[in-house]
Amino acid sequence: MRLRYAGTCRVCGVGIPQRTEAVYERQTKRVRCLSHEMSPSLESSPETNRGPVTLERVMEPGPVAIEVVEPGTAGASARREFERRKAKREQRIRTQHPRLGGFLLAISEQRQSTTAWDTGAVGEERLGRGLDRLACETIRLLHDRRTPRSRANIDHIAVTANGVYVIDAKKYRGRPQLKIEGGILRPRVERLLVGSRDCTRLVDGVLKQVDVVRTALGDDAPVRGVLCFVEADWPLIGGSFTTRDVHALWPKKLYLQLQLEGALSSEAIDDIHRCLAKELPAA
């Protein structure tokens, strides 16, 4: 296969550059040069393994621990930003009012621009805990990932048998709904409303995140965008909808979607998970 990452030959120890054709051993998750390709019968035969000591056998490394991908911490960057703003405000007030600083902090409230970070962190943390309970060989997760050349981040990524999900968690009150205007004599326009608030910009944000993940993966797997509202007023029947290929739904509905069967094997899921972890590091 053509290697997604650079590796080291298991036999001779020579480095193998990224995108070079080599032999990938699925059982050991090691690679080796094409020149060391051996038949499975020779590799697994006990008689062969007990043969005379050769230079290759002396150089062959022992068992190597499989690298564990760190999924990240849900809501970590939003939580840090909230704490930073909170501490900065406290320092400013105590510096300006040495004697009354504590009293002023007790009777005054944080700015809305600061509390928004706390609200966002709570939503990401809550959804992250639910997603982590689903983690298994066919559902691999990444939380709070940085996007290249941007200050934005991706809340959650789920790699499943039926595709890759780019998930934006929102802790909004009100009922999400899709409002469609035009369509016959006028251009069709879709707007996302939560209660009376126009939140169409949220869809634009998810689409940008989907493009980032697709760029990192190429055509390895289908990528879907999701807006998950963790405290919205959803109806008892129906309620979820799709706008511009972005699914708007609630956590339990999302969990069921992630567990659907699909064409991706556990090995392919593992490869995609490792690729995204490398291309999109934790924020």
Cα distance between residue 75 and residue 155, in whole Å? 7
Give the confidence band of 85 by pLDDT, cuts at 50, 70, 90. very high
Residue with the bigger pLDDT between 10 and 231: it is 231
pTM: 0.74
Cα distance between residue 71 and residue 282, in whole Å? 8
Give the confidence band of 43 by pLDDT, cuts at 50, 70, 90. very low
**% the chain with pLDDT above 70:** 87
Give the confidence band of 50 by pLDDT, cuts at 50, 70, 90. very low
pLDDT tens-digit series, residues 191-235: 999 999 999 999 999 999 999 999 999 877 899 999 999 989 999
What pLDDT is attached to residue 109?
84
Cα distance between residue 183 and residue 264, in whole Å? 37
What pLDDT is attached to residue 25?
77
**% the chain with pLDDT above 90:** 52
Count Cα atoms within 13 angstroms, Cβ side, for 203: 21
Q: Residue 280 pLDDT > 90, yes or no? A: yes
User: Are the beta carbons of 84 and 118 closer than 8 angstroms?
Assistant: no
User: Are the beta carbons of 178 and 155 closer than 8 angstroms?
Assistant: no
pLDDT tens-digit series, residues 254-268: 999 999 999 999 999
Q: How far is CA 115 from CA 28, 30, 87, 168, 213, in A?
A: 48, 48, 13, 18, 29
Average pLDDT over residues 43-56: 43
Domains identified in the chain and CATH numbers: 7-59 (no CATH), 124-279 (3.40.1350)
pLDDT tens-digit series, residues 59-81: 445 444 456 788 889 989 999 98
Average pLDDT over residues 34-41: 56
Residue with the bigger pLDDT between 147 and 26: it is 147
Least confident of 43-52, 181-190, 201-210: 43-52
The amino acid sitting at 243 is T
Q: Which residues contact 131 (CB under 8 A, 6 or more apart)?
A: 74, 141, 143, 156, 158, 167, 255, 258
